[in-house]
Structure 1
Amino acid sequence: MTKHIRLITTHTTDMSHKMSGLKHLEREGELMFSQVRLDYGPASIECEFDDVLSSPYIAGRAMEAEADGAHAVIIDCMGDPGLHATREVVRIPVLGAGETSMHVAATLGHKFSVITIMDRVRPILENHAKTYGLYEHIASVRAVEVPVLHIGNDKDKLYDLLADQSHKAVIKDKADVIVLGCTGFFGCDTYIRKHLLDRNIDVPVIDPLPTSIMVAAGLLEVGLTHSLRTYPKPPIKERTGYQIPNISE
């Protein structure tokens, strides 16, 4: 049976271009992907306020995915908005790009650095690392100061900024692994890896979206999902003002 992984874009901006870049990971008759975005919420996720606004609708999209027959869900954002709440409302695996890529980084090296969009999200990522039990593995969180909605404006400049901060993270901060700190940086890992290798620096560079997808595929292969003891189903009660599916018994 083909395993179906649903990617949830955590805001209202169209990110369907990512699907073509993920095509090589699909396996006919075995693994397929689909993608949805939000109808309501912010145009991008760049602060705690955006996280709160988007979370109910991310959970709603996951409930729809499960009803559609999807086998796993990826929250397509390094900030992992609504991650824990979403796990409470579905039984299929729910992976956040941030949590997943940080854990993978900690298995590949002693210290990792996250290269993210803007310094304003550094406290968010550091706090998440504490929640995930990985704070001691962070060498640094560096930023290129490019807002999410401007990522595609000048790709060559973005590549250079990411490569420069990655180089500094290894040389100055002693990072053993680089994690791209925004899923909008999808596909930039190849350039950064080459930039570092050209300078005799051989460290892994993690692209969070494809990494999370393949971890989800692995969980499906061995039949694992999140624990109900950690993520029990929400109690049945009235919840008004949210255009999301109702929680059933």
Structure 2
Amino acid sequence: MGDPARRPRFLLVQAFSLPPGSPNQFRAAEGGKEAQLMNHAALAPLLADLDWDLHPGPLAPHGDWPVETREEFAIAGVARLPIVREACAGGGYDAIVLLGGGDPGYMEAREIGRRHRIPVTANAHAQMHLAMTLGNRFSIIDIAETHNARMAELVVQYRMTHGLASIRNIDVPLPRPAHRDRPTLRGEAERHAAGEPSPMLEAAVAAALAALEEDGAEVLLLGCSAAFWLQAPLQQRLAALGWEVPVLEGYRCAIELARVFVRLGLDASGITFPGDPPRHRRRRRLA
């Protein structure tokens, strides 16, 4: 960032977009970037001093429903990489923020960003690392069994097993054909927005208390980005019960971590993400 007076420019990239008319839509698919960005009301203060664009993500190649399974995360991750590659090659952005709680394509996107010296952040990765600056152990409050499996693998991939207290499943999945006849996260979000009691919020409070009292958690994370609306009421409910514990949400953590990297002039290590060809060839590499 040569000109200190220039506002940093970020690109926020959704994990995927669903086709028009999908019965499983769970966020706004039309309108300006503010309307399409979930949690914009809470994010607006963080974005106020940035120039930012929002990419809707690739049209979902796996089907017309949100991702939850390993296969779907892998497909969505591959589909998102050309967007990252084009954004980095264009030279117009100071950072790329990958939205979506399961971080599809994140490590590969960091490799692309490293070639162009552009930091790339993502939700779960940012939450876990910030959690470990706030306490010794964290628990993830997550939405469904299949999504839990993805989060557990990310904990291992990000070398955070020493900090994980638990993954607590509240079992309110995203709208998908497999869950057509049961309550889903979309309906619970709408219920809460209308001021009605939400069983999902009550389940999140119960899971959070169990994580704190039984698992030894000191910080709480939200596993799914679409559960962003739980953050504020969950924080408030825990505080009312005397629990002074941070409740983190992915979008905000990823945006703020990207801001830190830009201000410090940092991007990922060239040893972690070597070039092709690498400038140095070490004789030994440890896992």
- TM-score > 0.5, shorter chain as reference: yes
* Offset of residue 93 of structure 1: 0.8
Question: Counterpart in 2 of 1:31?
Answer: 50
Quote the Cα distance in structure 1 between the aligned partners of 2:172 and 2:251.
Answer: 19
Q: 2:236 aligns with which of 183, 186, 194?
A: 194
Q: Is the 8 Å Cα contact of residues 10 and 44 (structure 1) preserved in structure 2?
A: no
Cα deviation, 1:48-96, whole Å, max 9, x if unaligned, reads: 1012211222111112322261221122122211111112223311112
Residue pair 2:39, 2:228 contacting (<8 A) in 1 also: no
Q: Give the drift of 1:172.
A: 1.7
The correspondence of residues 102-181 of structure 1 with structure 2, limited to 5 A, is 102-149=128-175, 150-155=184-189, 156-181=198-223
- Establish whether residue 207 from structure 1 lines up as the match of residue 249 from structure 2: yes
> TM-score normalized by structure 2?
0.75
In 2, Cα distance between equivalents of 1:215 and 1:132: 16
Gaps of 5+ in 1: 236-249
| Aligned length, in residue pairs | 233
Between 1:80-89 and 1:199-208, the stretch displaced more is: 80-89
Shift of the alpha carbon at 1:233? 4.5
Tell me the equivalent position of 1:9.
14
Identity of aligned residues (%): 23
Conservation of the 8 A alpha-carbon contact between 1:114 and 1:178: yes
Q: Specify whether residues 19 and 140 from structure 1 end up closer, same or farther in structure 2 by C-alpha distance, changes over 3 A only.
A: closer
Residues 13 and 96 in structure 2, CA contact (< 8 A), matched pair in contact too: yes
Q: Please tell me whether residue 18 in structure 1 is matched to residue 52 in structure 2.
A: no
Quote the Cα distance in structure 2 between the aligned partners of 1:146 and 1:19: 19
Normalised to the residue count of structure 1, the TM-score between the two structures is 0.86
1:23 counterpart SS class: helix
Partner SS state of residue 153, structure 1 = helix
CA positional deviation for 1:45:
2.1
Alpha-carbon distance, 1:160 to partner = 2.0
Greater than 3 Å deviation, 4+ residue runs: 232-235
Distance 2:14 2:141 in 1: 20
Conservation of the 8 A alpha-carbon contact between 1:89 and 1:234 = no
